[in-house]
Chain A
């Protein structure tokens, strides 16, 4: 099973992948992960690849092979859509993070687009996390919880 986690720096993408990997290890499964962070310090795009099971030699999930995409941010989710397998599931958080290059982007349009794809969409309400915790810090954990039934 291939799970791709994406978001922006500071959202805890890497932590979410560690969580999934640890769970898999506890179930006695083989698991490999890889991070692509590049030069981004903060605010850049971050992607984590989690590959559960044997016979996944490449550290990165090939495009078209992700069973699940966990998107901590709607724009990043759309950016990484190529990775989704036909019939794959997307879990996406509602909160958009504005681009560093200035200005907002239209998160509503991103959601309309995601909905238009006709794939199974699990929407996680980031504002609910904020109301509960007073911060978005645990959004990553919430996202991992939201896909537990798929693993």
Chain B
């Protein structure tokens, strides 16, 4: 045994390795990304790990390996599950052989996501068992249970941490031996041919019935699962909770000196442990349900109570509206609500910082020297005064919406900008429709949209922002880079070559050469059909700075144009322009914008 400080995501990865996982795959997405990165770092020979092209590919690859008997792990963020839902819904009917755990990290808040969707609800919809750990310590243990259950019942299992747990660090006894079996090299797997692997309506009818029966049995079994529990001893009051809210509730009760209150903790929101819940309700007069996002536990308790004909007061977010229906919860909020529920006097803390001087505003911005700034600026200049609409996409470059660039008019989901642009130009043909897409998103789900445009003769200008990395999530590889997550060299797929194969001849430009960049966009905008400009320049977190810019105070008139046009965080203008040398990369974009040649770059 040795105690290690592990982040929730690391705990999940080490727990999976300990459970003997052999094949692991996923697509980066905050807050799930570090799970696979940890596998890549800590794995031993025979454990396979990959960044798949998207979540659907990851899940299907893992399904194949599970068919052959390997234990597999798939990781993604909650919106990734939407991409993977096609294989997931069918795989729920087909099942697996080797244990398969799909980790889907939810993001209450949302802190860095498009939606606040709740994977516990998805579990119920897809009829798949779901584990909901409340701490990194618990996640480390629970993921092993998830693998056991999956393998025993031949079904994929969902595992749903949330942001605060993924990014919390806890001391964990990393058990020895750290690994139990596992690894492709250590266990020769074999796929047995059998009609059961081929989905047909007749098979689905049979399997659907079996799944419903299994889930009823599982509800019964989960009532005895050790991480589902009733704690405390009160008669009147009860609290039902799960996930990280369990930790918040414990802390709030401690603050209120009310640790005696009975708490029902739900670690398996689906199938819901009905017998355990009924026992809990039986010995309670009023229940307060505390959970972030969907009222999953609340509805289940109402259902259980109703079906059993129990008259009991159940408070929560849906019917009684005692808690916000959306957003992240905090200990502070819950302490206040619990005090009211329990009738304990409590003076709320917080309430802002009164009389403080105005605080600096720090919204997320594109980094100093970010090549996306140059690309956006070039398109903006090329299209100034013309009728145009700019569809953005998911990545750092969504930040192109901020002032002063203001170049993102729409953003929906991965790859959507490309197809939304086509719809816009169908509805409003006299307005040029642009779509910006990053390199990783291009591979993940951009290509089909371009094929659609070519096939249907839709009109659009595609702008690929190729910065040679998946930047938003912290710098992961993708198919264009020539390196796998295992560290091996591989083919680097060229985006221009792919476009050519689809029938689009792209203009390939360095966005930091501003004049060339503007002319390329102007030329593309002038043509009709599907046009493309590929801006190639590496992310500042990949490429070394090329130098550093400085202001020639004699030439600078202090006009402020550079800062006003570009919004580079290294640049500000008082009496004269000033450049923060610790941030500046020497990209020389401002030098090309300055009308007085006042900015000089030294290499």
List A residues at the B interface (Cβ < 8 Å). Answer: 8, 18, 21-22, 25, 30-45, 55-60, 62-65, 75, 78-79, 81-82, 96-106, 109-110, 113, 135
CB neighbours of A55 from chain B (8 A): 254
Inter-subunit contact A25/B3 (CB<8 Å): yes
Q: A22-B5, A75-B360, A100-B362 are in contact. List 9 more A-B contacts (CB 8 A).
A: A21-B5, A62-B349, A63-B350, A64-B350, A78-B353, A78-B359, A82-B351, A96-B360, A102-B563
List B residues at the A interface (Cβ < 8 Å). Answer: 3, 5, 111-112, 135, 164-165, 167-171, 244, 246-248, 250-251, 254-255, 330-332, 335, 349-353, 355-365, 367-368, 396, 563, 567, 569, 572, 582-583
Q: How far is the CB of A111 from chain B (nearest CB, A)?
A: 10
Inter-subunit contact B360/A99 (CB<8 Å): yes
CB neighbours of B582 from chain A (8 A): 135
Q: How far is the CA of A78 from the CA of B355 in the complex (A)?
A: 11
Inter-subunit contact A42/B367 (CB<8 Å): yes
Q: Which residue of B lies closest to A78 (CB)?
A: B356
Among A33, A41, A105, contact of B364 (Cβ-Cβ < 8 Å): A41
Q: How far is the CB of A133 from chain B (nearest CB, A)?
A: 13
Q: How far is the CA of A105 from the CA of B356 in the complex (A)?
A: 13
CB neighbours of B365 from chain A (8 A): 41, 43, 100
Q: How far is the CB of B309 from chain A (nearest CB, A)?
A: 35
Q: Which residue of B lies closest to A35 (CB)?
A: B167
Q: Which residue of B lies closest to A63 (CB)?
A: B350
CB neighbours of B358 from chain A (8 A): 105
Decide: A31 near B5, CB < 8 A? Known: A58-B251, A59-B168, A62-B332: yes
Inter-subunit contact B353/A59 (CB<8 Å): no
User: Can you show 10 pairs from A to B with CB atoms below 8 A apart?
Assistant: A18-B5, A21-B169, A22-B5, A32-B170, A33-B169, A44-B364, A59-B164, A65-B349, A99-B360, A100-B569
Inter-subunit contact A62/B362 (CB<8 Å): no
CB neighbours of A31 from chain B (8 A): 5, 171
| Chain A-chain B contacts (Cβ-Cβ < 8 Å), number | 134
Among A34, A41, A63, contact of B168 (Cβ-Cβ < 8 Å): A34
CB neighbours of A104 from chain B (8 A): 572
Inter-subunit contact B168/A81 (CB<8 Å): no
Q: How far is the CA of A100 from the CA of B368 in the complex (A)?
A: 10
Inter-subunit contact A62/B331 (CB<8 Å): yes
CB neighbours of B569 from chain A (8 A): 42-43, 100
Decide: A109 near B168, CB < 8 A? Known: A82-B350, A100-B363: no
Q: How far is the CB of B564 from chain A (nearest CB, A)?
A: 9
Q: How far is the CB of A85 from chain B (nearest CB, A)?
A: 9
Inter-subunit contact B352/A44 (CB<8 Å): no
CB neighbours of B363 from chain A (8 A): 44, 100-101
Q: Which residue of A lies closest to B113 (CB)?
A: A39
Inter-subunit contact B112/A60 (CB<8 Å): no
Q: How far is the CB of B139 from chain A (nearest CB, A)?
A: 12
Inter-subunit contact B164/A34 (CB<8 Å): yes
Inter-subunit contact A57/B250 (CB<8 Å): yes
Decide: A62 near B164, CB < 8 A? Known: A41-B367, A100-B365, A103-B572: no
Q: How far is the CA of A113 from the CA of B250 in the complex (A)?
A: 35
Q: Which residue of B lies closest to A105 (CB)?
A: B360
Which one of B5, B112, B254 has the highest number of Cβ atoms from chain A below 10 Å of its Cβ?
Answer: B5
CB neighbours of A25 from chain B (8 A): 3, 5, 171
Which one of B247, B330, B332, B356 has the highest number of Cβ atoms from chain A below 10 Å of its Cβ?
Answer: B356
Inter-subunit contact A34/B169 (CB<8 Å): yes
Among A22, A40, A81, contact of B362 (Cβ-Cβ < 8 Å): A40
CB neighbours of B349 from chain A (8 A): 62-65, 82
CB neighbours of A98 from chain B (8 A): 360, 572
CB neighbours of A82 from chain B (8 A): 349-353
CB neighbours of A59 from chain B (8 A): 135, 164-165, 167-168, 244, 247
Inter-subunit contact A102/B165 (CB<8 Å): no
Q: How far is the CB of A58 from chain B (nearest CB, A)?
A: 4
Q: How far is the CB of A77 from chain B (nearest CB, A)?
A: 10
CB neighbours of B135 from chain A (8 A): 57, 59
Inter-subunit contact A105/B396 (CB<8 Å): no
Inter-subunit contact A32/B168 (CB<8 Å): yes
Q: Which residue of A lies closest to B573 (CB)?
A: A102
Q: How far is the CA of A110 from the CA of B358 in the complex (A)?
A: 9
Q: How far is the CA of A21 from the CA of B170 in the complex (A)?
A: 10
CB neighbours of A58 from chain B (8 A): 247-248, 250-251, 331
Closest 7 CB pairs of A and B: A64-B349, A99-B360, A59-B168, A63-B350, A57-B250, A62-B331, A58-B251
